[in-house]
Every structure is written in structure tokens, then in C-alpha cells.
């Protein structure tokens, strides 16, 4: 206690006051979950602080966030004619420990949630032509605001609006202690005690309209508009009955933005980033933004030291080329790349969480995933054939219905739903310090199942062989995602980067393999259609199949097929439970027609992944 008292006597009254506010916020949160903290809270409230001259009236000091158009010094008008022919989906990139994207050469597009970072300004829309340029985050609260921008990805249960309210509170210099309890709870979850302590300093009190008008009367109209909005918001943020929509009306102005005659920003103009990338913004609203990032090859050919935080893993390399096997993949953190507009436009901060707004995101893989996920019933029909040439369909004899091939065909195509859903990560794998490798299949054994001199047998074998080769890469890719999850969970930066690189390697490999597979798949379906133009799936037959599966389990042919596919007993039981859980009413339609739909979905994966840059395997 003597040591503690000695430390306390060295604190200034102002620091003690700020610390008291921060502790009050944290303990208030604890009180919501644990009653024992109430006694401590009471003691904190009763701490006597020597009254100093108030600084609350200092209104026009340094803003919490100062980033503005003057900081946008890397505008690249010479690239106005650069319109890339191939733009790749940024959400297909792996993540680093802090949620940043691991990027490689190419042009990547990100659909992200975004935030208003300057109240009392005009919000962007799809049609108003407002341009934004890159400028670094600056200001006393820049680090805290960036933490909030990054937090949505790490805390998916916290709504975007909750985070936006905190950003508005910080910009308006509102005392969090005087805000509703739920706001303090959110702040305590997302910010560190040190950051909460910082926010307890430099707050501004609510002014009367008369007093406020006198303070700002001689300022430019644009500055007055911002300060008036902040003053209104300070009052509203302290009222538990304030609706988000009311805050939004004050913070985000609508209508036509007045011209101020200053520097203008062309929509879609590129800016250069400190990493040697080029970035441009398309803001659809203050809550949604599309970012395009051009990563040129020479971003990887210059000196780029590798430094990992993991113990014993520090190393550095010089004069690296992109094809080198020993480099650290560079990262792109959208939260560190705000977009600033001209005039009275809205300063926008990007989240690291992708937007799920269907009006903003509808690229090729989105559409393919809806098919592979069964959203339009195509995958339900296709994946539940169980024996597409016999058990649930009208009989087709060229391939001896019921043989092992039919069951393999059923699994690998029906499994597309599981694979596509897993390509962006599954439960973390704690065994992340080794690489997943593709399994190999005994194709010689499979070839013996086919009758000789049959066109359909030949094309079907070629299709199944090529699909299984692609499927093996898919499985390795899914396992690499799991291992990345394990490395992220362990906060292991080096292995997060290694597994991220494995993911990028496998996606390129998968694109190449699927290109071949889809061609052979199409040949198979065309040949099948020539023998049987229509193959109707029967709901009643599927009901019979489910009843038999429930009582007797898989047939010998089905088990042989599943064992051929290297599934263990646990995985086989999961396949069984999956088939039993399917609604029989979804198993209907024409098998061949629906097969073409699913084939076209996989073609999208082939096209997108095939366009990924070549990257050396991390284990080579």
C-alpha cells in the first residue's frame, strides 16, 4: 500500500480525474454482470478531486480526428485511364492476425462496411459523383477510431450502428460516462482500458444555443455547420431515448452539397499508398463502400523485410522477387485507408468487415454460391440424387446403375455445397504448424468398374478422374483455411502468413484443375443427354431411399465409394445424417437440366481462381 500511495501522490489532479472516469466506465460494465463491483463503484464515486479551472469551455482545440483533403498528397491523376480488365474478389483473400487482408499482385475489389467520421457533412450516394482520395488517419484519437473500424470483423455480434454511435461520440468529444449504459458496455468490449482512459480526457460540455452561437459566430459557414452538428449530438448522445435515425439526420446531411470552389476530387481516382499499392473508392453511402486495390508486381520486388512477432522466428531477406519462396505476404488494412472528399463531403472510414448487402455485392462467386448452397434448389436436386443413374431417378442402364461410380458421382457433386461453404474458413485447426496436402485416389481400381467400348463410360471416367483431382485440391484448401483459423486463434503471425500463402497457392491450383474438370463434366453431360434426354428425380423414391438408409445404413456399393474417397467413419456418419435430414420435397426436377446449372456455378470458381496470380507453395 505504501508503494501505491507513493504513485498516487505523483498523479496530477487532472490525470486522477481522467482515470476516475475511465475506471467508472469499466466498473459500470462490470456491474451489469456482477453485483460485487457495486461497492467498488461507490468508493470510486466518493473519491474527492481537487477542483481545477475547467477546460470544458475549450471548444475549438484540436479535433479528435484531423485527417482532411490537405493530407491526400498521393493523388495519381496519371492513372485516370487505368481500367483493369480483370478485377478479383478481395473477400477471397486470406486474413492476417489483425483481420487485414493478405494481398498479392493483381487488382482486388472489396465490398466493405464503412463509417461516417465527420458529422455535419454531406453523405455520399451512388449517383452524386463524390470522389474520395486516400489520406492517412491523423489526430489524437486516430488510433482509437481505427480500433473501432477494425472491431466489426472481430466482433460480428456487435452491430454496425453501435460502433458508429461510438465514433460519433468520439468525434463530438462526448463524455462516455454520460452516455447510456449500453454504449459504455460496447466501448468496454472494443477498447482497452488505456484507450478508455484517453477518451475521458478532452471532452466538451453541452452549450446553450445562445452561448454556442456567440462562440462560433465569426467562423466560416462550413465550420459552423460541423460544430453545430457536434454540439447537437453531444446532447442527443446523452439521452437514452434518442433514436439512431435522429443522430443520423444530424451527422449525415442530405441534399445537394454546396460548391466551395476548392480542390475537386474525381470519382474513382487512384491514390498511392505507403506500401506501393494504388487505391480508389466508390462510396455508395456512408455505411457501404467499394474499394479497389491495385497491387503491382514491383510492390514485391523491392526490399521488404520479414519480421514476425512469434518468438524465435525473426528473419529478413533483401531483393526479393514475387516468385521467391521466402517472403512475407504484404497486408492491406482497409481501416488504415480512409477516404477523404472535397468540400463539405463525408470523410469515410472503412471497416475490415465485408458488406453483405445484396444490392452492393452480386459478383460471379456470389451467384455461384447461391447455386451451390441450394438457394435456388439446383444443388438440392443435384446433390440428393444419391445414385443419379438409378436409385431416385428413372432407370438409365449404360453405366450399370448402382455401381460404385454412380455413388462417387453423387458424393463429389453433392459435396459441392459443403466445399463451397468451407472455402472461406471453418472451425480452427490447432495443428496449424504443418501444411495440408491433397489426397491421392486409386484411379486404376476405379477404371476396372467400367464396361469396355462405351462412349458414356469413357467420358464419365475422364470426368470423375479430373473432378477427384480437383476435389483433392478443394479438400486441401478447406483444411488450409482451418489451419489458418488455428494460427489466427493462437495469434501466431508467422504461421498465419504461411497458411495464408498456402490458401492462395491452392486457389490458383484449384482454378486450373476446375477448368479441366468443367470441360470433361460438360462432355459427360452432353453424352448422357444423348442417351437419355431427360432424367426425372422422384420424390417418392427418395423417401424410400431415406427409409432404407435409416434402417439398414449405406449399401456395400455406397460404402465402397465413400471408402474410395478416403472418408473415415466419422465423416461417413456425417454424410448419412446429412442425407437423412434433407426434405424429400426438394428432390424433384430434371437431373440433367439441374446438373448444367451446378456445372456453370463451378465454372465461375474456375474462372475466378484461375485468374489468381501464380504463387510458389510455402513448403518449397
Q: How far apart are CA 107 and CA 279, in angstroms?
A: 10
Confidence (pLDDT) at 399: 43
> What is the SS3 assignment for 503?
helix
Confidence (pLDDT) at 397: 40
Which contacts (CB < 8 Å, 24+ apart) does range 302-306 have?
302/276, 304/328, 304/330
Confidence (pLDDT) at 394: 41
Q: 437 with 475: CB under 8 angstroms?
A: no
Q: 374: which residues sit within 8 A by CB, 6+ positions away?
A: 380, 383, 417, 586
Q: What is the DSSP string of 505-563?
A: HHHHHHHHHHHHHHHHHHHHHHHHHHH-S--EE-HHHHHHHHHHHHHH-S-HHHHHHHH
Q: 513: which residues sit within 8 A by CB, 6+ positions away?
A: 466, 469, 470, 473
515, three cell numbers: 477448368
Under-70 pLDDT residues of the chain: 1-61, 205-206, 208, 299-327, 357-362, 370-407, 409-426, 449-454
Q: How far apart are CA 200 and CA 196, in angstroms?
A: 6
281, three cell numbers: 473508392
Confidence (pLDDT) at 327: 60
pLDDT tens digits, one per residue of 374-428: 544 443 444 444 444 443 334 344 444 345 666 676 666 555 445 545 455 557 8
> What is the SS3 assignment for 149?
helix
Hey, what's the torsion of the CAs at 448, 450, 453, 456, to 10 degrees? -150
Q: What angle do CA 309, 67, 221 make, to 5 degrees?
A: 165
- Which of 168, 252, 174 lies closest to 206, judged by CA? 174
Q: 432 with 490: CB under 8 angstroms?
A: yes
Which contacts (CB < 8 Å, 24+ apart) does range 373-380 have?
373/417, 373/420, 373/421, 374/417, 374/586, 376/597, 377/586, 377/589, 377/594, 378/594, 378/597, 378/598, 378/601, 379/414, 379/416, 379/417, 379/598, 380/582, 380/586, 380/587
Residue 350 β-bridge partners = 114
End-to-end CA distance of the chain: 58
pLDDT tens digits, one per residue of 108-121: 999 999 999 999 99
Please tell me the pTM assigned to this model.
0.80
Confidence (pLDDT) at 249: 95
DSSP symbol at 192: -
Q: 108 with 329: CB under 8 angstroms?
A: no
Burial 450-460 (b: 16+ CB within 10 A, else e): beeeeebbbbb
Amino acid at each position: 500500500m505504501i508503494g501505491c500511495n507513493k504513485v498516487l501522490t505523483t498523479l496530477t489532479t487532472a490525470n486522477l480525474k481522467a482515470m476516475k472516469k475511465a475506471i467508472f466506465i469499466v466498473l459500470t460494465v462490470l456491474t451489469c454482470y456482477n453485483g460485487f463491483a457495486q461497492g467498488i463503484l461507490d468508493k470510486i464515486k466518493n473519491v474527492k478531486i481537487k477542483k481545477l479551472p475547467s477546460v470544458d469551455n475549450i471548444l475549438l482545440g484540436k479535433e479528435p480526428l484531423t485527417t482532411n483533403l490537405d493530407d491526400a498528397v498521393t493523388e495519381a491523376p496519371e492513372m485516370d485511364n487505368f481500367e483493369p480488365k480483370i478485377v478479383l474478389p478481395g473477400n477471397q483473400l486470406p486474413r492476417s492476425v489483425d483481420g487485414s487482408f493478405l494481398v498479392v499482385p493483381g487488382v482486388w475489389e472489396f465490398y466493405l462496411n464503412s463509417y461516417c467520421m465527420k458529422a455535419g457533412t454531406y453523405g455520399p450516394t451512388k449517383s452524386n459523383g463524390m470522389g474520395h482520395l486516400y489520406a492517412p488517419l491523423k489526430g489524437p484519437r486516430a488510433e482509437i477510431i481505427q480500433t473501432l473500424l477494425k472491431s466489426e470483423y472481430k466482433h460480428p455480434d456487435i452491430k454496425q450502428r453501435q460502433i458508429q454511435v461510438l465514433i460519433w461520440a468520439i468525434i463530438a468529444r462526448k463524455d462516455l460516462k454520460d452516455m447510456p449504459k449500453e454504449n459504455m458496455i460496447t466501448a468496454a468490449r472494443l477498447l482497452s482500458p488505456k484507450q478508455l482512459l484517453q477518451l475521458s480526457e478532452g471532452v466538451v460540455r453541452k452549450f446553450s444555443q445562445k452561448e454556442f452561437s456567440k462562440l462560433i459566430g465569426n467562423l466560416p459557414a462550413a465550420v459552423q455547420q460541423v460544430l453545430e452538428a457536434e454540439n447537437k449530438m453531444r446532447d442527443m448522445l446523452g439521452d437514452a431515448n434518442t433514436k439512431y435515425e435522429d443522430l443520423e439526420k444530424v451527422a449525415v446531411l442530405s441534399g445537394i452539397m454546396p460548391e466551395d470552389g476548392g480542390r475537386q476530387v474525381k470519382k474513382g481516382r487512384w491514390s498511392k499508398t505507403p506500401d506501393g499499392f494504388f487505391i480508389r473508392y466508390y462510396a455508395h453511402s456512408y455505411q457501404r463502400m467499394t474499394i479497389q486495390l491495385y497491387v503491382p508486381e514491383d510492390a514485391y520486388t523491392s526490399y521488404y523485410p520479414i519480421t514476425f512477432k512469434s518468438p524465435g522466428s525473426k528473419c529478413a531477406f533483401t531483393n526479393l522477387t514475387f516468385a521467391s519462396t521466402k517472403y512475407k505476404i504484404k497486408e492491406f488494412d482497409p481501416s488504415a485507408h480512409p477516404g477523404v472528399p472535397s468540400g463539405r463531403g463525408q470523410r469515410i472510414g472503412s471497416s475490415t468487415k465485408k458488406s453483405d448487402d445484396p444490392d452492393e455485392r452480386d459478383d460471379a462467386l456470389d451467384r455461384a454460391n447461391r447455386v451451390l448452397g441450394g438457394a435456388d434448389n439446383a444443388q438440392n436436386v443435384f446433390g440428393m440424387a444419391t445414385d443419379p443413374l438409378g436409385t431416385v431417378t428413372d432407370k438409365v442402364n449404360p453405366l450399370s446403375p448402382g455401381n460404385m461410380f454412380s455413388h462417387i458421382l453423387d458424393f463429389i457433386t453433392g459435396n459441392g455445397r459443403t466445399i463451397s461453404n468451407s472455402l472461406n474458413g471453418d472451425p480452427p485447426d490447432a495443428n496449424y504448424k504443418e501444411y495440408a496436402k491433397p489426397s491421392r485416389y486409386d484411379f486404376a481400381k476405379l477404371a476396372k468398374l467400367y464396361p469396355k467400348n462405351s462412349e458414356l463410360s469413357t467420358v464419365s471416367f475422364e470426368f470423375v478422374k479430373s473432378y477427384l483431382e480437383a476435389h483433392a485440391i478443394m479438400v486441401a484448401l478447406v483444411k488450409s483455411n482451418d489451419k489458418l483459423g488455428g494460427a489466427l486463434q493462437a495469434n501466431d503471425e508467422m504461421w498465419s502468413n504461411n497458411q495464408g500463402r498456402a490458401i492462395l497457392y491452392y486457389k490458383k491450383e484449384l482454378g486450373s484443375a476446375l477448368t479441366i474438370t468443367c470441360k470433361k463434366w460438360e462432355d459427360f453431360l452432353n453424352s448422357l443427354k444423348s442417351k437419355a434426354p431427360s432424367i426425372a428425380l422422384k420424390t417418392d423414391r427418395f423417401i424410400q431411399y431415406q427409409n432404407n438408409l435409416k434402417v439398414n445404413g449405406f449399401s456395400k456399393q455406397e460404402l465402397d465409394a465413400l471408402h474410395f474417397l478416403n472418408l473415415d467413419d466419422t465423416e461417413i456418419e456425417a454424410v448419412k445424417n446429412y442425407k437423412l435430414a434433407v426434405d424429400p420435397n426438394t428432390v424433384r426436377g430434371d437431373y440433367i437440366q439441374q446438373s448444367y446449372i451446378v456445372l456453370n456455378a463451378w465454372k465461375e470458381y474456375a474462372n475466378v481462381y484461375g485468374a489468381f496470380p501464380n504463387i510458389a507453395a510455402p513448403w518449397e
